[in-house]
């Protein structure tokens, strides 16, 4: 959404209700899913005032998050930025634009904005010389809609993102809108990790919340085809998720150091009328041809240039149901002893692939690339049928996708939104035992593995590099 006048960085680029490339990356495993429910304590309204707030659950979540954000940044800010964190001076504002009591907002909300102009939005105001500068304002009805679809973690994320802009106001903003917004996502990720570790007094986030949070970011991406230079650019789905996970994994210091002018983003504009009309998606038969041509090309080159070996392409087969060699009824499978060429069989259920195609053509490519990566592991004399193998295969699929994105394969070209479709596939299907091997990997973990391969290549993927 657009930001109000003289404000800095609303969280949302698009409300659809009804990569960055860096030199280093890590990933973590957090605990098993738990069911902690709501926080056991809530901050008193007299301790932290939110103008216009009600006693409802959304305002309670927002107030709790804001209190914990003040605690976190008061401690982290001196370590990361070398100075004392100064609390926000302009306050916090909650609004239901459809039910505004003007007497509650005599000077408007942040930046003096009319509260009715806040619909479907949240923003931080940094503009000096106007009423209510250095403040955070949010549409609680909008946050409630997010919470109804993706759980109570989304209102907390909104507060953390906008608080990230308050941090930026104290130390300086990146040069572009997209860098500013994704850095705020990164800063929000660093706070979220602190909460997930059990350090917060009023907020709680568990493993299942993190999967919902990443899914909710799909609503918050820019429309596919938006250029990185747009005045209000916030980033692609992958850009925003990757930034959040970067802060979650590596801490606020990474957010400080990795958002300079050389940072690269996966968001891109459509360059042809055809791409615009089909939203960057090739027809399904062409998608199958891309799979059949690009995966052997990538792995042949990977073995020659990085893995010190020779790759023999496995047999690739579009099946109806699992092949006879499959140990269980799964849609995507690698059989070491299958196929006619002596190097195994990669099979994918054609009906399932057409279902995945609804997410986008590259979602299908991502899915098939995972068992194909298992065939590469097999030729490296590595395991193919355990959790370590699946984690490695997802990471290797990120490595392959980076080569696609960077235009290093002759048999495939990238379209805007393609890498977003990888994230969609992993969150929707990656931990489904009917799709891949039965594992306990979360969607958050799978996306983090893909991101590590995309950013760092084979070095992150447990193949001896």
Cα–Cα dist 379/370, whole Å: 15
Of 12-21, 34-43, 55-64, 340-349, least confident by mean pLDDT is 12-21
> ∠ CA 35-39-52 to the nearest 5 degrees?
130
Number of H helices, E strands in the chain: 14, 7
Cα–Cα dist 376/438, whole Å: 20
What was the pLDDT predicted at 21?
A: 30
Cα–Cα dist 65/85, whole Å: 17
Helix (H) or strand (E) holding 277: helix 273-278
Q: Which residue carries 């949070």 as its tokens?
A: 213
Cα–Cα dist 246/125, whole Å: 25
Q: Is the dihedral of CA 196, 197, 202, 206 positive or negative?
A: positive
- Tens digit of each residue's pLDDT (9 = 90 or more) over 275-300: 656 666 889 999 999 999 999 999 99
Work out the average pLDDT over 259-281. Answer: 73
What was the pLDDT predicted at 274?
A: 59
Q: Which residue carries 């990669």 as its tokens?
A: 346
What was the pLDDT predicted at 224?
A: 61
407 backbone dihedrals φ, ψ, rounded to 5°: 70, 30
- Residue 28 reports pLDDT greater than 50: no
- Tens digit of each residue's pLDDT (9 = 90 or more) over 142-189: 999 999 998 899 999 999 999 999 999 999 999 999 999 999 999 999
Higher pLDDT, 103 or 46: 103
Of 226-240, 269-283, 285-299, 414-428, least confident by mean pLDDT is 269-283
- Tens digit of each residue's pLDDT (9 = 90 or more) over 212-226: 999 888 777 666 656
Cα–Cα dist 439/437, whole Å: 6
- Residue 97 reports pLDDT greater than 60: yes
**CB contact at 8 A, 458 and 465:** yes
Instruction: Give bridge partners of residue 139 from the DSSP assignment.
Output: 95
Cα–Cα dist 57/425, whole Å: 32
| CA distance readout (Å), 326 to 39, 317, 318 | 45, 13, 14
Q: Of 158, 226, 229, nearest to 9 (Cα)?
A: 158
Q: Which sequence spans correspond to the domains of the chain?
A: 50-257, 276-460
Instruction: Give bridge partners of residue 91 from the DSSP assignment.
Output: 135
Instruction: Give bridge partners of residue 125 from the DSSP assignment.
Output: 135
Cα–Cα dist 185/188, whole Å: 5
Q: Of 377, 351, 373, nearest to 464 (Cα)?
A: 377
| CA distance readout (Å), 279 to 173, 274, 354 | 32, 8, 17
For 101, other C-beta atoms within 10 Å of its C-beta total: 10
Coil vs helix vs strand at 347:
strand
- Residue 406 reports pLDDT greater than 80: yes
| Bridging pattern class, strands 122-125 and 135-139 | antiparallel
Cα–Cα dist 201/185, whole Å: 22
The percentage of residues in the chain with a pLDDT greater than 70, rounded to a whole number, is 85
What was the pLDDT predicted at 2?
A: 24
**CB contact at 8 A, 50 and 92:** yes
- Tens digit of each residue's pLDDT (9 = 90 or more) over 106-125: 999 999 999 999 999 999 99
User: pTM for the whole thing?
Assistant: 0.88
Coil vs helix vs strand at 293:
helix
What was the pLDDT predicted at 20?
A: 29
Cβ partners under 8 Å of residue 81, min gap 6: 170, 171, 256
**CB contact at 8 A, 142 and 15:** yes
What was the pLDDT predicted at 5?
A: 32
Q: Of 324, 59, 331, 300, nearest to 202 (Cα)?
A: 59
- Residue 93 reports pLDDT greater than 90: yes
What was the pLDDT predicted at 222?
A: 62
- Residue 12 reports pLDDT greater than 80: no
Cα–Cα dist 278/290, whole Å: 17
**What's the CA dihedral at 13, 14, 20, 24 to 10 degrees?**
80
Q: Of 427, 460, 463, nearest to 211 (Cα)?
A: 427
Work out the average pLDDT over 207-216. Answer: 88
Work out the average pLDDT over 186-198. Answer: 97
For 33, other C-beta atoms within 10 Å of its C-beta total: 13
- Tens digit of each residue's pLDDT (9 = 90 or more) over 322-336: 777 876 788 999 999
- Residue 228 reports pLDDT greater than 80: no
What was the pLDDT predicted at 132?
A: 95
| Cα Rg of the chain, angstroms | 23
């Amino acid at each position: 959404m657009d930001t109000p006048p003289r404000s800095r960085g609303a969280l949302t680029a698009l409300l659809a209700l009804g990569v960055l490339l860096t030199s280093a990356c890590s990933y973590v495993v957090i605990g098993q899913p738990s069911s902690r429910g709501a926080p056991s304590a809530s901050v008193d309204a007299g301790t932290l005032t939110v103008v216009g707030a009600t006693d409802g659950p959304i305002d309670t979540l927002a107030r709790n998050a804001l209190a914990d954000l003040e605690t976190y940044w008061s401690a982290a800010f001196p370590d990361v930025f070398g100075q004392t964190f100064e609390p926000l001076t302009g306050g916090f504002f909650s609004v239901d634009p459809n039910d505004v009591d003007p007497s509650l907002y005599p000077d408007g909300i942040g930046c003096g904005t009319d509260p009715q102009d806040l619909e479907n939005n949240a923003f931080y105001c940094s503009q000096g010389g106007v009423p209510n500068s250095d403040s955070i304002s949010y549409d609680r009805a909008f946050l409630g809609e997010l919470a109804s679809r993706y759980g109570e973690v989304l209102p907390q994320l909104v507060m953390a993102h906008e608080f990230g802009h308050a941090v930026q106001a104290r130390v300086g903003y990146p040069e572009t809108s997209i860098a500013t917004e994704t850095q705020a996502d990164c800063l929000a990720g660093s706070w979220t990790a602190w909460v997930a570790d059990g350090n917060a007094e009023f907020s709680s986030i568990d493993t299942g919340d993190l999967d919902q949070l990443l899914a909710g970011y799909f609503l918050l991406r820019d429309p596919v085809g938006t250029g990185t230079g747009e005045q209000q650019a916030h980033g692609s789905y992958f850009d925003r998720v990757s930034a959040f996970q970067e802060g979650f994994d590596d801490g606020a210091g990474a957010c400080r150091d990795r958002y300079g002018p050389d940072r690269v983003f996966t968001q891109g504009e459509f360059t042809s009328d055809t791409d615009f009309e089909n939203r960057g998606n090739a027809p399904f038969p062409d998608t199958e041809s891309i799979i059949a041509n690009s995966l052997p090309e990538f792995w042949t080159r990977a073995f020659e240039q990085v893995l010190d070996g020779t790759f023999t392409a496995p047999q690739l087969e579009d099946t109806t149901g699992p092949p006879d060699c499959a140990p269980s009824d799964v849609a995507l499978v690698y059989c070491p002893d299958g196929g006619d060429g002596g190097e195994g069989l990669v099979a994918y259920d054609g009906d399932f692939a057409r279902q995945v195609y609804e997410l986008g053509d590259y979602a299908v490519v991502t899915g098939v690339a995972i068992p194909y990566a298992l065939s590469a592991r097999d030729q490296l004399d590595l395991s193919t049928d355990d959790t370590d193998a699946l984690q490695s295969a997802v990471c290797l699929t990120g490595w392959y996708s980076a080569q696609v994105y960077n235009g290093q394969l002759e048999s495939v070209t990238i379209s805007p939104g393609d890498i977003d479709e990888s994230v969609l596939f992993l969150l929707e299907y990656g931990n489904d035992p009917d799709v891949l091997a039965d594992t306990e990997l979360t969607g958050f973990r799978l996306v983090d593995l893909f991101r590590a391969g995309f950013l760092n290549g084979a070095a992150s993927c447990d193949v001896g590099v």
